[in-house]
Structure 1
Amino acid sequence: MASVGLLFVGAVLFINGVMLLGWVDARSAAPMNFFVGGLQIITPLYLIFTADGDADVILAASGLFLFSFTYLYVAVNLTWDLDSTGLGYFCLFVAITAVVFSILNFTRFADPALGVIWLYWAFLWALFFVLLGRKRDGIGRYTGAVCAIQGWVTAWIPAFLLLTGAYSQIGVPLAIGLAIFGVVVFAALVPWARRSQPPATPAPAAEPAAV
């Protein structure tokens, strides 16, 4: 069930990314955030209720709430045009927690690919914190591009690998490939995002003081 939810996480990350790139109207992205946020509430609750006390299942499922609350928070902000500061600082909380889940996947769960994916998410949510919480609008296009790409790389592709049973066969190579891809692509996006920034509008010249 978690893999089905992951598939649609890919969809909402892609839509939110292209929204930040200016390709999609902000309010038109709200419904998908509501849909996936709701789905990511149901999925971990189901996994926890059927875990029969398995601590590892409950621990893994708890991380899904980080996504559901983010998407619902985004949906509410977009629908009612709220200030983004609260969402931004929640994203800081998510980024820090994602690092912990990454470590757990490398150690406790022996899933290096998911460990790398959690690092991807920690990086993305850290960008959200800077963009929304600290109001650094200059990284908007970069964040949008990273978000849209992560929708495919960290969610859509892994979801299909899980659904088809291929994920467990390529865990270590997938982890290495994702790590290399992330470093190369996200570094290459930096000069692209800088070139894509609109030129700053010069401030109007001050009127001469009256004598």
Structure 2
Amino acid sequence: MLHTSLGAIIEDTRAAMRRAPCFQNPVSGLGCKFCGSKRSWVQHLRQVHVFLPRTKTGHDILASGTNHNSASGPILRYCPAILLTLYYEVSAIGVTPMIHLGLFFAGAAYILNGLSFLGVVDARSSSPLNTLVGLFFLAITYQLVWPLHDFTGPEKTEILLVAAGELLFGVTFLYFGVASFTGLSASNLGWFCGWAALVSAAITAVQMTWFGDVKSAALWFVWTVVFCALFAVLALTLERLTRPTGYLIIVAGFSTCFFPGGLLLLRSWELVPPSVVWTVQLSAITLFLLLSIRSSRIAPNDKPHPLPAA
């Protein structure tokens, strides 16, 4: 069979990658999770090379006369196709450490923003960190979505779900950063947080029911409550919830970002039982509810900032 288009080559390469053992499970920059080795990308490319069908596409131009069945044969046989396909298929997996790193540093932004709600730091001073973290999440979103040339298949759906979460965080942090620095009205931002709360609740349900990722669902459940609290403070101007929201953001910075992100970077997140994750997250929400009830009985002495960042 003689292939004549790059698309056909990519389809051949994608099929080969599905047959190659190490590509049946996620491959991260830290090594292959299937075989446990520290294989380089070139070594993984050579593995794909073994499974490629015998065709003349690209061979006559790039590697004429080579042994197609040899695992040590020139990887240049399908060099453009393999590199493109590898990028399309596993760039989202390769960006996984960036997601973990973003979650880790989002904790710092959360903590600083919570302090701004408590009046410890000026809201405007937190705008640089919010902007940088927001731009980082937007870059991750681009890295996740851009390689997708189609949106079919359950694996693509999961990537899109992750991208939706990253985009939600990116836009939120960037919005808060810009609004805090420029002094924009908090009302529109609060209504955006109301919409973000609905999106977060939907992602929580999907993580729980569709993908069965109960630990991620626990994190998204807390973020849903955080967005609801921001909506109440910024859009509905419930000033008595300003300080409880500040404490909630600080606790969420540790419980949903700093510690999970750090454990993911150390590849130890899987060792944490789901029951522990849910207990910690429900404790954070319970603390917020108790503080909210207490604040409703006491007239607030501190006025909120014109635009506390979150």
Normalising by the residue count of structure 2, what TM-score does the alignment of the two structures yield?
0.60
Structure 1 unaligned segments of length 5 or more: list them. Answer: 201-211
Aligned mates of 2:302, 2:274 — CA distance in 1 = 44
**1:153, 1:106 → 2: CA distance?**
19
Which position in structure 1 is the counterpart of 2:205? 103
Report which stretch shifted further, 123-132 or 53-62: 53-62
Partner of 1:30: 127
In the aligned structure 2, how far is the partner of 1:161 from the partner of 1:199? Answer: 37
In structure 1, distance between residues paired with 2:274 and 2:250: 24
Cα shift at 1:93:
0.5
Which 5+ residue runs of structure 2 have no aligned equivalent? 1-97, 151-155, 304-310
The answer as to 2:177 corresponding to 1:177 is: no
Return the structure number with greater helix share.
Answer: 1
> Are residue 133 (structure 1) and residue 235 (structure 2) matched?
yes
Residue 55 of structure 1 corresponds to 157
Structure 1 equivalent of residue 99 of structure 2: 2
With over 3 angstroms needed to count, the CA separation of the structure-2 counterparts of 1:77 and 1:107, relative to structure 1, is same
- Check 1:110–1:79 CA distance in 2 against 1; reply closer, same or farther (3 A cut): same
- Asked if 1:14 is matched to 2:111, the reply is yes
How many matched pairs?
A: 200
Cα drift, residue 143 of structure 1: 0.8
Contact 2:135 2:174 survives alignment (8 Å):
yes
**Structure showing greater relative contact order (alpha-carbon pairs closer than 8 Å, 6 or more residues apart):** 1
Contact 1:51 1:57 in 2 (8 A): no
Alpha-carbon deviation of 1:171?
4.2
Could you give the per-residue CA deviations for residues 113-140 of structure 1, whole angstroms, max 9, x where no partner exists? 1101111011110111111111222211
Is 1:67 aligned with 2:164?
Answer: no
> Are the structure 2 counterparts of residues 138 and 102 from structure 1 closer, same or farther at C-alpha, using a change threshold of 3 Å?
same
1:152 aligns with 2:254: yes
Helix, strand or coil: the match of 2:112?
A: helix
Greater Cα offset, 32-41 or 53-62: 53-62
List per-residue Cα deviations over 1:157-183 (Å, max 9, x = no partner): 110111111112324233332344234
TM-superposed CA distance for 1:196, in Å, is 8.5
TM-score (norm 1): 0.87
Runs of 4+ that moved beyond 4 A: 50-53, 191-196
Root mean square deviation of aligned Cα? 2.1
Contact preservation (8 Å) 1:77, 1:83 = yes
More off after superposition, 50-59 vs 104-113: 50-59
- What one-letter code is carried by the residue in structure 1 that aligns with 2:101? V
The 1:105–1:34 alpha-carbon spacing in structure 2 relative to 1, beyond 3 Å, is same
